[in-house]
């Protein structure tokens, strides 16, 4: 494994980029070589997380202390040095996840000013496909037909009450890179899209996507929504939810303010404002939804269906009643997975390395106060 030979006491004129990532080294060799070719000033040490854990009898990830002390840049999914003082030369941490809530209580997050960047932007294509797939599975009664197929039943009546996407309203709660790609696909299907953001976006410039964008995807200039809503106050959220939403896509980050953002009152508003009933797709974090309230809303048919790629907690315990709720589709936090994930993630890393070298602002830089 590259970089895991015994460290020497010698020094290198090159800056150390320490990569602690979940892909086998063999799978990332072309991507690492691309880094080394473009940035000859960097020395890359790659550590495969799973293999490193096997080395340690306690199952903890052990990184050579010399690498931690020398590292200028850290590329990681979740591993961090114990503190900023343990990595005195660290100038940038590039997370390979869309958010940083999983490290929000770590000393490097709370007690240092080391710049943190995320992979926001690379998940849009695959998650948007998951959202639309789940919505179509429900609206076109695919599960019923699949079960009928297994029974060898030919029953056309099941398909008579299908509403296609034309003219429906899609509400995107959190109009970031994922929500923008959902909007792009939904608009192509003939749906109307409305957007919700935490802070106001009153001007065309404020509605632009300044993060990483997978080429040919998303809504770079923010022109797709027919209306924009904003504000973390409940009355602002409720104004958005009153707009007759047929498909609600939950893609806000999990923060203290968005925990249980959607509960009984919100489900009642969605129910009363959408004659056809609202379908909810949550691809963000399970705790954004009050899960007990969602179960009640589904069982009483205030909400016509839900697709959950995230739950609270995870993994969802086998005894949890959510598993058995009618019209609830659960997947194990996989909507963001794609064979192109690593390649796109390295694109973001390379973009930030270019910006760092040129003295420009980083892409996907985390605002610690906002939590994302």
CA 229 distance to own-chain centroid: 21
Q: Comparing 7-21, 77-91, 169-183, 349-363, which segment has the lowest mean pLDDT?
A: 7-21
What structural domains and CATH numbers belong to the chain?
A: 15-121+339-358 (3.40.50.720), 124-330 (3.40.50.720)
Per-residue pLDDT at 7 exceeds 50:
no
Cα pseudo-dihedral 94, 96, 99, 103, rounded to 10: -70
CA within 13 Å, CB half, 33: 6
How much is the average pLDDT of 56-69?
Answer: 77
The tokens 């899209």 sit on which residue?
A: 193
How much is the average pLDDT of 14-28?
Answer: 95
- The angle formed by the CA atoms of residues 29, 32 and 37, to the nearest 5 degrees, is 120
Task: Grade residue 5 by pLDDT with cuts at 50, 70 and 90.
Answer: very low
Residue 76 pLDDT: 96
pLDDT digits (tens, 9 = 90+) for 213-242: 999 999 999 999 999 999 999 999 999 999
pLDDT digits (tens, 9 = 90+) for 270-312: 999 998 899 999 999 999 999 999 999 999 999 999 999 999 9
Residue 161 pLDDT: 84
How much is the average pLDDT of 132-150?
Answer: 95
How much is the average pLDDT of 56-65?
Answer: 70
pLDDT digits (tens, 9 = 90+) for 142-184: 999 999 999 999 999 888 888 899 999 999 999 999 999 999 9
Residue 11 pLDDT: 53
Q: Which residues contact 257 (CB under 8 A, 6 or more apart)?
A: 232
């Amino acid at each position: 494994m590259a970089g895991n030979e015994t460290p020497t006491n010698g020094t290198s004129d090159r800056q150390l980029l320490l990569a602690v990532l979940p892909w086998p080294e063999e799978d990332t060799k072309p991507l690492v070589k691309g880094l080394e070719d473009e940035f000859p000033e960097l020395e890359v040490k790659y550590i495969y997380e799973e293999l490193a854990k096997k080395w340690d009898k306690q199952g903890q990830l052990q990184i050579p202390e010399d690498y931690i002390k020398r590292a200028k840049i850290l590329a990681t999914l979740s591993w961090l040095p114990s503190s900023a003082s343990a990595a005195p030369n660290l100038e940038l941490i590039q997370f390979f996840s869309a958010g940083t809530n999983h490290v929000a209580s770590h000393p490097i997050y709370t007690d240092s000013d080391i710049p943190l960047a995320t992979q926001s932007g690379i998940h849009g294509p695959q998650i948007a496909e998951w959202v639309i797939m789940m919505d179509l599975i429900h609206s076109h009664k695919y599960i019923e037909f699949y079960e009928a197929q297994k029974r060898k039943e030919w029953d056309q009546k099941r398909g008579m009450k299908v509403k296609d996407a034309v003219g429906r309203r899609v509400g995107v709660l959190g109009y970031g890179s994922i929500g923008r790609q959902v909007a792009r696909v939904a608009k192509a299907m003939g749906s109307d899209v409305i957007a919700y953001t935490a802070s106001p976006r009153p001007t065309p410039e404020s509605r632009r996507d300044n993060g990483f964008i997978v080429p040919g995807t998303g809504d770079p200039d923010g022109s797709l929504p027919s209306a924009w809503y904003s504000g973390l106050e409940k009355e602002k959220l409720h104004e958005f939810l009153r707009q007759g939403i047929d498909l609600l896509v939950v893609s806000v980050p999990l923060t203290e303010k968005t925990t249980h953002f959607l509960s009984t009152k919100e489900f009642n508003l969605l129910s009363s404002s959408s004659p056809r009933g609202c379908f909810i797709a949550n691809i963000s974090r399970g705790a954004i939804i009050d899960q007990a309230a969602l179960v009640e809303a589904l069982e009483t048919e205030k909400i016509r269906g839900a697709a959950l790629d995230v739950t609270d907690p995870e993994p969802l315990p086998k005894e949890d009643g959510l598993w058995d709720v009618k019209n609830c589709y659960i997947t194990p936090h996989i909507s963001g997975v794609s064979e192109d994930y690593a390649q796109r993630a390295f694109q973001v890393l390379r973009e930030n390395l270019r910006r760092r070298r040129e003295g420009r602002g980083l892409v996907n830089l985390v605002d610690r106060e906002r939590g994302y």
